[in-house]
């Protein structure tokens, strides 16, 4: 059982939202009311008249680096002479109570001189576009590759696809508590995905050595990538150091939606050609990602999207350009799928369109073109190693019966299939390792890991690996803090591989020190005697592709997925209901099948939500329109159909136990499969996700075509 299961199910789990300390101050963030402006000053006098007001922090109070960022340090700690998106933090108000801090935040008056806002990503690179990027350019990152001869197939389709702004929508909003350590340093308890990345950014902004900053993991209520970027972190630490008191902050739901990055909205043009028998010949793709006001993880998202843009297919000629641009829209960044979700929707939708053009079964077209293990990816040329045959996932889907019940009268049923691929692990030449510490005494084994438990079950997996090696010993966990060896963060579907590998090594060495037998005999350790083992695992190295050729081996391992979706659509209204979802994924080896099934089911439903419900609309002023779960529609119990996870095991021999990360895979091809099912049900192109009812309605109703004059008649007053 998961170590956190009982506490979470009984409501006893301590989330970061509940952190308090004696003598605490409360912080509230002052945010920009406009998308683009020069910040001429910040008036605080009225705010400081609030009873309980303590202080208002601005960029002038930041002693170290004024700009931070999870990958690119371009984001001001607090607005620095300019605001670049609606809701950007301008100041941080401190008060004796949370209510007083909120009132102060409402009364702080930023003096803003509006600038023209750039909200259309397709205009970002125009010569006359407003400049948003820090160096005067609106290009965050661009990759291009072109391989193969210029031959085109006899039949081709060209389509333009769009994906919306999905949010991580984790249930526990951003929160934290910072405490001065009494020696000039600071301790931050916060819900995060990467303790050490956070520490580096905090220390830089505070002008402190990293060892003076300690980040402790507080209870995380969901992450999905949305906690990779820092939010409250520096504000709280700065406030604690300046005040000498504990400081806490908790975002509201509406504030949370705008405070962390969303999934990148994407505009993708695909042109795919084939021979008459369906054999792919060429792919040309142009991918544009709206990065919003700051770079966040856009560069890495571009890399993932670029190298998986062609899916797991054999295509002799590929020509792909991928760009992320700055705009004055809300910041986009990491979210489960990390660019692969968007391009999977585009590629798989294009494959379906080409199959229709050819008059062939789309499943047959896929089977004809799917790579075999060992073949090179069409983009990077990296061999598809350590995976099951992609076609076997289609077999796995086909083995699951379709729903027995027929659709209700008047509804149209559609079935759609999609195949997806993404890396597991950071790759791209970046270090891919994790450290861990095991401490054994006669009472059991304590695991000390900086791998954040964000709800994915990493602690259950680590305990299982240690137990597998040592036998059934009592396992406990030390608090996760930045004082422990770095884990690399809970992101990129990597912790089972990275910290799991470290746990295996550490447990193996501990077993040796305990005599080498399994199960180990801890009773041989005397009272007060303990053995401490620190180990590290580094995954097989990768390398960033050659930027001139686009060729290289950037990936550690591959998450290979396939989904089948069954939907019913009301043709008159365009409303849709998902009836069944089947998710097949090559997981390498399922160390904990229950957790893996949970990941597959959860990610699959999250993908269906992206296809039909989840979107933060941004208005003409650059303001995000999600204030809560009444307007940002997450899949609820009524939306979740029968979900059937199918685990395909094909151990990757290069990885500990052959197990691959699985977290993102289920959200790669699920939206594409739902979109395909919607097309099958309606015959409509479904060129965007989330699909809106008007994209799905098909029936012609004569009553709806009343003469315009009649339609324009004012309604009479009813007596």
Residues near other proteins, by CB under 8 A: 102, 252-254, 408-411, 570-575, 577, 612-613, 627-628, 630-631, 633, 636, 638-639, 692-694, 697, 699-706, 710-713, 715-719
Q: Which is closer to other proteins, CB of 81 or CB of 629?
A: 629
Q: How far is the CB of 632 from other proteins (least distance, A)?
A: 11
Select from 609, 588, 712 the least CA-distant residue to 656.
588
Evaluate whether 151 touches 69 at the Cβ level (below 8 Å): no
d(CA 341, CA 376): 21
Nearest residue (CB) to other proteins, 9 versus 706: 706
> Which residue, 351 or 579, has its beta carbon nearer to other proteins?
579
457 CB-contact burial (10 Å; exposed 0-12 / middle 13-18 / buried 19+): buried
Interatomic CA distance for residues 189 and 187, integer angstroms: 7
Q: How far is the CB of 643 from other proteins (least distance, A)?
A: 17
Find tokens 């004809």 and name the residue: 368
Of 531 and 633, the one with the shorter C-beta distance to other proteins is: 633
Give min distance, CB of 616 to other proteins, in A: 14
Distances (CA, A) of 73 to 61, 210, 601: 18, 17, 36
Cis previous bond, 519, omega within 30: yes
The distance of closest approach from Cβ of residue 260 to other proteins in the complex, given in angstroms and rounded to an integer, is: 17
User: How, if at all, do strands 280-292 and 317-326 pair?
Assistant: parallel
Q: Cβ of residue 571: shortest distance to other proteins, in angstroms?
A: 7
Closest CA to 559 of 594, 584, 591: 584
Q: Which is nearer to other proteins, 175 or 503 (CB)?
A: 175
For the bound state, the minimum distance from the C-beta of residue 706 to other proteins, rounded and expressed in Å, comes to 5
- Nearer to other proteins by Cβ, of 228 and 615: the residue is 615
- Tokens 């884990």 appear where? 487
CA distance 494 to 556: 10
Max CA pair span of the chain: 94
Nearer to other proteins by Cβ, of 632 and 657: the residue is: 632
With respect to other proteins, which residue has the nearer C-beta, 90 or 105? Answer: 105
Q: How far is the CB of 615 from other proteins (least distance, A)?
A: 10
- Residue 162 or 253: which CB sits closer to other proteins? 253
Nearest to other proteins of 168, 411 (CB atom): 411
Tokens of 332: 């986009």
Crossing angle for the helix pair 390-398 and 362-369, to the nearest 10 degrees: 150
- Please confirm whether the linkage preceding 690 is cis (ω < 30° from 0): yes
In the complex with other proteins, the residue whose CB is nearer, 254 or 415, is 254
Give least dist CB 688 to other proteins, A. Answer: 14
Q: CB of 32: closest distance to other proteins in angstroms? A: 18
Conformational region of residue 686, where left means phi above 0, alpha means psi within -120 to 50, and beta covers everything else: left
- Rounded to a whole number of angstroms, the minimum distance from the CB of residue 410 to other proteins is 3
Question: Which CB sits closer to other proteins, 401 or 630?
Answer: 630
Q: With respect to other proteins, which residue has the nearer C-beta, 651 or 683? A: 683
Token pair 């609309």 in the structure block, residue: 617
Name the helix (H) or strand (E) containing 104.
Answer: helix 98-107
Q: How far is CA 652 from the centre of its chain?
A: 24
User: Is the distance from CB of 192 to CB of 198 less than 8 angstroms?
Assistant: yes
Query: Shortest Cβ distance from residue 521 to other proteins (Å)?
Result: 54
Between 389 and 579, name the residue whose CB sits nearer to other proteins.
579
CA 404 to chain centre: 35
CA proximity to 554, closest of 386, 419, 389, 379: 379
Residues in the chain: 719
Instruction: Return all residues near 636 (Cβ < 8 A) that are at least 6 apart.
Output: none
- Please report how close the Cβ of residue 569 comes to other proteins at its closest, in angstroms: 11
Closest contact distance (angstroms) between CB of 433 and other proteins is: 42
Q: DSSP of 371-403, one letter per residue? A: PPTTPBPTTT--B--S---HHHHHHHHHTSPPP
Please, how many CA atoms are within 13 Å of residue 553, restricted to the half-sphere of its CB? 10
Minimum distance of other proteins from residue 104's CB (angstroms): 13
Shortest gap between Cβ of 411 and other proteins (angstroms)? 8
Q: What are the helix (H) ranges across 319-454?
A: 340-358, 362-369, 390-398
CA distances in angstroms from 119 to 167, 327, 339, 614, listed in the order given: 18, 6, 20, 20
Q: Give the residue with the Cβ less far from other proteins, 49 or 113.
A: 49
Which value, to the nearest 10 degrees, does the dihedral of the CA atoms of residues 127, 131, 133, 136 take?
A: 70
The β-bridge partners of 414 are 567
CA 405, CA 387: separation in Å to the nearest integer? 35
């Amino acid at each position: 059982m998961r170590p956190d299961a009982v506490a979470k199910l009984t409501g006893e789990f301590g989330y970061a939202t509940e952190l308090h300390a004696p003598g605490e101050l409360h912080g509230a963030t002052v945010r920009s009311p406009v998308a683009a402006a020069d910040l001429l000053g910040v008036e605080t006098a009225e705010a400081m008249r609030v009873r309980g007001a303590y202080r208002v922090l601005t960029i002038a109070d930041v002693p170290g680096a004024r700009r931070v960022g999870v990958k690119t340090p371009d984001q001001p700690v607090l607005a620095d002479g300019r605001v670049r998106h609606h809701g950007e933090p301008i100041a941080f108000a401190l008060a004796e109570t949370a209510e007083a801090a909120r009132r102060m935040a409402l009364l702080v008056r930023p003096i803003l001189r509006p600038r023209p806002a750039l909200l259309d990503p397709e205009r970002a690179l125009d010569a006359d576009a407003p400049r948003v990027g820090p160096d005067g350019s609106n290009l965050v990152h661009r990759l291009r590759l072109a391989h193969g001869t210029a031959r085109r197939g006899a039949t081709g389709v060209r389509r333009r696809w769009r994906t919306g702004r999905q949010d991580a929508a984790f249930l526990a909003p951003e929160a934290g508590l910072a405490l001065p350590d009494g020696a000039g340093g600071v301790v931050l308890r916060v819900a995060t995905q990467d303790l050490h990345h956070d520490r580096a950014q905090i220390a830089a902004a505070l002008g402190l050595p990293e060892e003076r900053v300690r980040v402790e993991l507080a209870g995380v209520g969901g992450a999905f990538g949305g906690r990779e970027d820092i939010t409250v972190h520096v504000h709280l630490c700065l406030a604690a150091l300046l005040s000498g008191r504990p400081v806490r902050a908790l975002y509201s739901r509406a504030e949370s939606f705008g405070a962390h990055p969303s999934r990148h909205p994407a505009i993708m043009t695909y042109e795919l050609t084939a021979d008459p028998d369906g054999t792919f010949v060429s792919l040309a793709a142009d991918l544009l990602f709206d990065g919003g006001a700051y770079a966040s993880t856009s560069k890495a998202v571009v890399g993932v999207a670029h190298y998986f843009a062609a899916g797991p297919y054999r295509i002799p000629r590929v020509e792909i350009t991928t760009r992320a641009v700055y705009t004055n829209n809300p910041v986009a960044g990491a979210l489960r799928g990390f660019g692969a979700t968007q391009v999977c929707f585009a590629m798989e939708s294009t494959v379906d369109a080409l199959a229709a053009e050819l008059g062939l079964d789309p499943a047959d077209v896929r089977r004809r073109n799917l790579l075999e293990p060992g073949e090179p990816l069409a983009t990077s040329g990296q061999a598809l190693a350590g995976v099951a045959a992609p076609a076997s996932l289609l077999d796995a889907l086909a083995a699951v019966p379709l729903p027995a019940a027929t659709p209700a009268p008047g509804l149209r049923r559609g079935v759609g299939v999609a195949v997806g691929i993404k890396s597991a692990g950071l790759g791209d030449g970046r270090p891919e390792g994790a450290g861990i510490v095991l401490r054994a005494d006669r009472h059991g084994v304590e695991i000390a890991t900086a791998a954040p438990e964000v709800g994915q079950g990493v602690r259950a997996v680590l305990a299982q690996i240690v137990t597998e090696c040592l036998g059934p010993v009592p396992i406990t966990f030390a608090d996760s803090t930045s004082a422990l060896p770095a884990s690399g963060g809970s992101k990129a579907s990597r912790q089972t591989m990275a910290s799991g590998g470290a746990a295996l090594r550490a447990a193996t060495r501990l077993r040796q020190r305990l005599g080498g037998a399994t199960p180990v005999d801890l009773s041989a350790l005397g009272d007060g005697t303990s053995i401490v083992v620190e180990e590290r695992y580094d995954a097989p190295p990768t390398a960033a592709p050659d930027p001139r050729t686009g060729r290289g081996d950037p990936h550690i391992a591959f998450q290979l997925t396939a989904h089948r979706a069954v939907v019913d659509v009301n043709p008159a209204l365009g409303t849709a209901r998902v009836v069944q979802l089947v998710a097949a994924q090559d997981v390498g080896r399922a160390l904990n099948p229950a957790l893996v099934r949970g990941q597959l089911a959860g990610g699959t439903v999250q993908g269906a939500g992206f296809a039909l419900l989840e979107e933060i609309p941004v208005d003409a002023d650059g303001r995000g329109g999600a204030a809560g779960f009444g307007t940002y529609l997450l899949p609820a119990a009524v939306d979740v159909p029968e979900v059937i996870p199918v685990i395909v095991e094909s151990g990757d021999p290069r990885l500990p136990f052959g197990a691959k990360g699985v977290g993102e895979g289920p959200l790669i091809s699920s939206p594409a499969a739902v979109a395909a099912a919607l097309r099958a049900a309606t015959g409509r192109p479904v060129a965007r996700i989330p699909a809106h009812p008007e994209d799905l309605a098909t029936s012609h109703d004569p009553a709806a075509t009343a003469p315009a004059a009649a339609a324009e008649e004012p309604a009479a007053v009813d007596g």
